[in-house]
Structure 1
Amino acid sequence: MSHDHATPREPRPSRRETIERNLWASPALFVLAAWVLFRLGDGTSTERLTDLAWITYAVGWVPALVMLGRSAVRRTNPGVGAAFAFTVLVLMGVLFGGNHA
């Protein structure tokens, strides 16, 4: 007698869904990299790292804006991924601006 109870498993997300989720989450990585560069720049007298941090932060907007545009073209709801991406970008942009402008 087998007592193998089949537990309902969620289906694996498709490759497209996985890529979309990662693109929506990627601004967090750019923000983290920018934060590290700002911190390193605070310890030096050069503006180079601060400039690089701002560039890194700005590049973090690219995947979020591309995904938002893709959602608009496909006429789909961008969902919670957009809320996460833009909240992180706006919040950290305000904090970075307050500390490094």
Structure 2
Amino acid sequence: MEERTQEAPKKSRGETVADNIGASPAIFIFLAFLGFFLAETQEGEHKAWYMYFAGWVASIVMLAKAAITRKGPEMGTLVGVVLLVIFGLLISFTHRDSFPF
């Protein structure tokens, strides 16, 4: 007997973009980590902080989109926010003196 498997419905282009944007903070966290690790001056650490803050932009946009459409945020967005919070806490403990504001 031949079994038929049901294929998952294909995601639309918008859903695929939303998934990727929601997970994009991981890239900014990685770049900020490299910035803190490789920075030899206070200016370099300031740039690393700016990279960290840039990671929040996509998450805030995706959370606002979820609030406007009254849908729950995507899993990628939630993971991105959790990673940003954890990384921000760890870096603020070790690089508080280089905070740019």
- Which of 54, 57, 62 is 1:67 aligned to? 62
Superposition TM-score, scaled by structure 2 size = 0.86
Alignment-derived partner of residue 19 in structure 1: 17
Shift of residue 40 of structure 1?
Answer: 0.5
Moved more, 46-55 or 75-84: 75-84
Show structure 1 runs of 5+ residues with no match. Answer: none
- How far residue 13 of structure 1 moved from its aligned partner, in angstroms, is 1.4
Which segment drifts farther, 8-17 or 87-96?
8-17
Identity of aligned residues (%): 36
Where do 5+ consecutive residues of structure 2 fail to align?
Answer: 97-101
The residue matched to 1:60 in structure 2 has which SS?
helix
| SS of residue in 1 equivalent to 2:11 | coil
User: TM-score, length-normalised on structure 1?
Assistant: 0.86
How far residue 72 of structure 1 moved from its aligned partner, in angstroms, is 0.6
Q: What is the Cα deviation at residue 7 of structure 1?
A: 4.1
Taking the TM superposition and a 5 Å limit, the aligned residue runs for 1:1-101 are 7-41=5-39, 44=40, 46-101=41-96
